[in-house]
Amino acid sequence: MNNLNGKVAVVTGGGSGLGRELSLCCAQRGMKLVLADVDAPGMAETERLVKEKHPGIETVCWPLDVSQLDQVEALANFVQERFGGTHLLFNNAGVGSAGPIWESTAKDWQWVLGVNLLGVAWGIKAFVPRMLKQGKGHIVNTASAAGWMNGPGAGIYNVSKCGVVAMSESLVADLKDVGGNIGVSVVSPAFFPTPMLKNSQTLRPQDASEAPLSDIAQKRKEQTHYAMQNGKVSAAQIAEMTLRAVEENRFYVFPHPKIKALVLARASAVQEETTAFDPMAAR
């Protein structure tokens, strides 16, 4: 999809972080925007920035819990009625939790997988049939380096992002079966400055309170926070790389090139069949 001007973009998680920067990149290209998030103040701030930097861009904010299929279907129906269709969908909303995988509660699993994994699944389910009918479109799924590298202290997050990679590759295979003119990209960034950890605390549903953190869980959480805040690639840079991938119809997007080397190192560990690949030791 090399000409995005005048087309319609839907951005889940558009209230902050990468979602905000994706929205600004789309606005720069002249796209109409539908921001979708549980964070209403965050969406309002994204909308303000869009209007400030790109006057005249039509922007709509839509409260959305991506873990609920009926809400995602309602969003897809709204965009269809308001704009006549969706050209570019970013399944981008994401949350995280910290700690050894055995310390995660049932509610932790339900919440993180509900947003990170089912949020992508419901976006595909609601929007792909409409894109097939209109004969064009592009879907961008936000995975993570954690979709390829399963490090400590983030078990549920790792599982969710591995699932996003698998779902994206499966989507491409299924689209080949029906001959749909729909592009797909999966974005797998490593650490970059983002308020996701903070938002994961403030926006966590009241009935999904995580268990008190153990010492090791607190340590891993602090390490993750430090790595994110000191990331060398910004959310704005990742967003621009992602939009270029859409324009060039590229599937894999690795904003941090070192991750591809780690993927190859993991493949070597698979060949040896001796021990689980340790991304921390291989860095």
Q: What local confidence, expressed as pLDDT, does residue 203 receive?
A: 64
Q: What local confidence, expressed as pLDDT, does residue 280 receive?
A: 79
Residue whose structure tokens are 């929205």: 23
Residues of the chain with pLDDT under 70: 192-211, 217, 219-231, 282-283
**Displacement of CA 112 from its chain's centroid (Å):** 12
The number of beta carbons lying within 10 Å of the beta carbon of residue 50 is 23
Check 90, 111, 148, 157 and give the catalytic one: 157
- pTM exceeds 0.85: yes
Concerning whether 252 is annotated as a catalytic residue, the answer is no
Q: For residue range 194-227, what is the model confidence (pLDDT) as tens digits? A: 665 555 556 666 555 556 777 776 766 666 655 5
3-state secondary structure of 77: helix
**23: exposed, middle or buried (Cβ count in 10 Å: 0-12, 13-18, 19+):** buried
Q: What local confidence, expressed as pLDDT, does residue 164 receive?
A: 98
Domain ranges of the chain: 8-269
3-state secondary structure of 7: coil
Q: Does domain 8-269 sit in CATH 3.40.50.720?
A: yes
Pairing of strands 59-63, 32-37: parallel
Q: For residue range 62-93, what is the model confidence (pLDDT) as tens digits? A: 999 999 999 999 999 999 999 999 999 999 99
**280: exposed, middle or buried (Cβ count in 10 Å: 0-12, 13-18, 19+):** exposed
Q: What local confidence, expressed as pLDDT, does residue 197 receive?
A: 53
Pull the structure tokens for residue 83: 């704009």
